[in-house]
Amino acid sequence: MKLAILSNGPGNYSTKRLVEEARKRGHDVEVIKYKDCYLALDDKHPDVYYKGEKLPKFDAILPRISNNMTKYGCAVVRQFEMQGVYTSAHAVAITRARDKLRAAQILAKYDVDTPKTFVSRNTSDIDHLLDQMGLPVIIKLATGTHGNGVILADTRKAAKSALQAFYLYNEDGTNILLQEFIKESAGTDIRAFVVGNRVVASMQRASLDDDFRSNLHQGGLGVPIKLTDEEKKTAVKAARAMGLHICGVDLMRSERGPLVLEVNASPGFGIEKVTGKDVASKIIEYIEHNAPRHAGKDKIGA
Ligand SMILES: Nc1ncnc2c1ncn2[C@@H]1O[C@H](COP(=O)(O)OP(=O)(O)O)[C@@H](O)[C@H]1O
Ligand SMILES: [Mg+2]
């Protein structure tokens, strides 16, 4: 199989592992820095150029689009989709996952349990919303990542002033989510790595200080954890709802069962080091199995 990994970081652990496993399994693999690609849209053939050359037709692409280049990265993925190339993640699914509001709407529609979430732009709604949510309350920017853009407000006053500031200085920008604080697992969450219909690795992340955020980027620490069947089912259901076959689902354990926090379209591979599981080869196997089934199918519409 002729495989392109779309990654701006050829030296990243995740990219290196994917290349290594793909080569081990006999594939012809190339890492393409999508930020250096340009797209030609002026004839019947939607081509991708890289380093001044037209890229050949790949059997499959594996997008690893970073959060800070979602729009351009997804445009490149879409161009390959227009060529009829199999992709392990569709551009539309990546885009949806990057917007916490859009993701929350999709998860709600597909009956995936999440913390209770409200979205509003009116300061006059705040009291009413806080009545339903209780305190402390979580305030989230819809496009935040790595724990940046998630705030814990302990008091009504703190929540109100934070929201007012966001509403005022963010008029056309990011949406703001108000979310129930899951106190039962404060400072911890679970990352379930889903490939196809299975959780292939799982870890618990815990903050090492009194931070309520467990992101590894905020100094959290990962340890392997065994998931219950319900947790596994929830993770796979969330992945399906988002249309992401390879993803990292973040869960919190709560009194009413597992709740999905978010679904990551390009999950990190630190989980391999924490759990000792070979995630990269599971991903390559999945693509090996699914790309040929896609071959010859109609080109996907925009
Ligand atoms: N509703 C919540 N209740 C308790 N803790 C939360 C809640 N939402 C987020 N957190 C904590 O904050 C971290 C970051 O939140 P998350 O929604 O995953 O945003 P990010 O995309 O920045 O990682 C989570 O990993 C979790 O530890
Ligand atoms: Mg997160």
CA of 38 to the centre of ligand 2 (A): 31
| CATH code, 157 | 3.30.1490.20
- Which residue lies with its CA nearest to atom 12 of ligand 1? 213
For residue 285, being part of any structural domain is answered with: no
Q: What is the mean pLDDT of residues 251-269?
A: 97
Does the pLDDT value for residue 170 go beyond 80?
no
Confirm or reject: Cβ of 250 under 6 Å from ligand 1: yes
Mean pLDDT for the chain?
Answer: 93
Confirm or reject: Cβ of 118 under 6 Å from ligand 1: no
Q: Could you identify the atom of ligand 1 that is nearest to the CA of residue 207?
A: 27
pLDDT in tens, 74-101: 999 999 999 999 999 999 999 999 999 9
Same domain, 238 and 165: no
Same domain, 162 and 127: yes
Same domain, 198 and 175: no
- Which residue lies with its CA nearest to atom 11 of ligand 1? 213
CA of 169 to the centre of ligand 2 (A): 24
Confirm or reject: Cβ of 249 under 6 Å from ligand 1: no
Ion ligand 2, residues whose Cβ is below 5 A away: 250
For residue 252, being part of any structural domain is answered with: yes
What pLDDT is stored for residue 171 in this prediction? 61
What pLDDT is stored for residue 302 in this prediction? 40
For residue 294, being part of any structural domain is answered with: no
Same domain, 154 and 76: no
Q: Which of 42, 62, 95 is the last residue of a domain?
A: 95
CA atoms 167, 170, 172, 174: torsion sign: negative
What pLDDT is stored for residue 301 in this prediction? 44
Q: What is the mean pLDDT of residues 61-70?
A: 97
Which ligand has its closest atom nearest to the C-alpha of 206? 1
Same domain, 212 and 175: no
pLDDT in tens, 70-80: 999 999 999 99
- Which residue lies with its CA nearest to atom 24 of ligand 1? 213
Same domain, 171 and 190: no
For residue 109, being part of any structural domain is answered with: no
Q: How confident is the model at residue 296 (pLDDT cuts 50, 70, 90)?
A: low
Domain span including residue 146: 117-181
Same domain, 198 and 267: yes
Same domain, 177 and 218: no
Q: pTM of the predicted model, to two decimals?
A: 0.95
For residue 103, being part of any structural domain is answered with: no
For residue 296, being part of any structural domain is answered with: no
CA atoms 57, 61, 64, 69: torsion sign: positive
Same domain, 168 and 202: no
Q: How confident is the model at residue 121 (pLDDT cuts 50, 70, 90)?
A: confident
| CATH code, 241 | 3.30.470.20
Q: What is the mean pLDDT of residues 98-108?
A: 97
For residue 298, being part of any structural domain is answered with: no
Q: How many domains does the chain have?
A: 3
Same domain, 165 and 197: no
Q: Which of 95, 127, 157 is the last residue of a domain?
A: 95
| CATH code, 7 | 3.40.50.20
- Which residue lies with its CA nearest to atom 10 of ligand 1? 213
Q: Could you identify the atom of ligand 1 that is nearest to the CA of residue 180?
A: 1
Does the pLDDT value for residue 298 go beyond 60?
no
Same domain, 176 and 194: no
Does the pLDDT value for residue 43 go beyond 80?
no
pLDDT in tens, 198-256: 999 999 999 988 899 998 888 889 999 999 999 999 999 999 999 999 999 999 999 99
Same domain, 219 and 246: yes
For residue 297, being part of any structural domain is answered with: no
